[in-house]
Structure 1
Amino acid sequence: MNNSHTSLPRRRILLGVAAASAVTVAGTTAAPPAGGATPARSVRNLVSLDRIATARLADGPARFQADFHERLDAWLAFWSANSPRVWSAPVEVDGRVAADGDAFTLRAIRITRDDETRDAFAAGRSDAAHLATLASLHHHFPSVRVEADGALRVADGPAGWNGSAEQVAFAVAACRELWGLRAADATDWREHASRAGHPTDPASRSGWAAFTRASLRRGLRTESY
């Protein structure tokens, strides 16, 4: 894909998104207890599928837990609905499914524009589209991790704010890199986000949904604020 999105320093993004993993944030909600986690499911219930929403899987059919695949369908449709109008719906997704079918590591989303297939998101490219795609995954999944190479790993479960280190790290990075709020950190990002036009507390269920959606659109340049 062309480099129309603003390039962001790779080291700064990866450090910013990972930094909060070692930070305990006062006033945030703790991650759900083990009793609230999605129970382990049998690999015998896996279904073999070759697409996520409209996009074919680059490596061919893969085995998913059916409800997790439905969440991935909804996520990619959401990402596409908030992408630039000149982009096609995603035509290919490059990623790897975990053996138990309950996790997915995203490496690329490909679209067509001007009759060319382009990488709208690429794990190794540090730009606003990378943070935007991260926002879209946080909108749909409770656990989203940035790997060392920039790939994005998601695990199944209901979406929503849970106060995890990964969510806080993303929120700080989004405030700084997408919204220009350079002073935001793990202790005060909520105040900065609220002043940026998000009156609902972003550390609430509805506020988190609004903040991640707005950050997606900000990163893909489909809405101005």
Structure 2
Amino acid sequence: MGIVFNFENPSITLTLNSAVVAGWTGRDQAAVQHHIDELSELGIAPPSSVPLYYRVSTALLTQSDRIEVLGEGSSGEVEPLLIRAGGKTYFGLASDHTDRDLEAYSVAASKQACAKPVSSTLWDFDDIAGHLDDIRLRCWIEENGQEVLYQEGTLAGIRPLEELCAGAGFADGTAMLCGTFPAIGGVRPARSYRMEVSDPHRGKTIGLSYTVETLPIVA
């Protein structure tokens, strides 16, 4: 599958044949275990290993500003995006939109159930490799007619990206979503999301916004 991205200015088409969602990627292992314990109390099975790499269909990756989901139980989350293509690694932004109701049955199935919005702009990974821990990600949601901060953190809170690439077998033609941060006020659905990743060293930002259309569950 080919997706067109803006690379600093010129457009490039990258061919992807594999997509991976990396989960349980927090660098603070005590916090990761606490989250696993919390989810276990909700009936969500613990991961078989940490981190864990979920394969999903490349067709789920979308640059549309609107996605459709089944029911009211899904939510998005801001994540760094890595793409390996043509022998180079690129960095972008993505949302691991997930069906939270289905998550209680199977995390793997929940990852496959929703589209994954990705940014239309990428950076050369080599340009940020020396200061990755300073890269900041934020997500805002629309709630009660107001835009509120939903997630915020730097890559210092996520396992080193090179480590995640090694664990995933990050081959040419692969896109990987690399994990996220706790939701401020708890995980919950929203009608719209606005996300950004910023590089304070270079003064550059990548943005991603999308709305969610809920489809009825028909028995």
**How high is the TM-score relative to the length of structure 2?**
0.30
Higher relative contact order (CA closer than 8 Å, sequence separation 6+): 2
Q: Which has the higher helix share?
A: 1
Q: TM-score with structure 1 length normalisation?
A: 0.29
Q: Which has the higher strand share?
A: 2
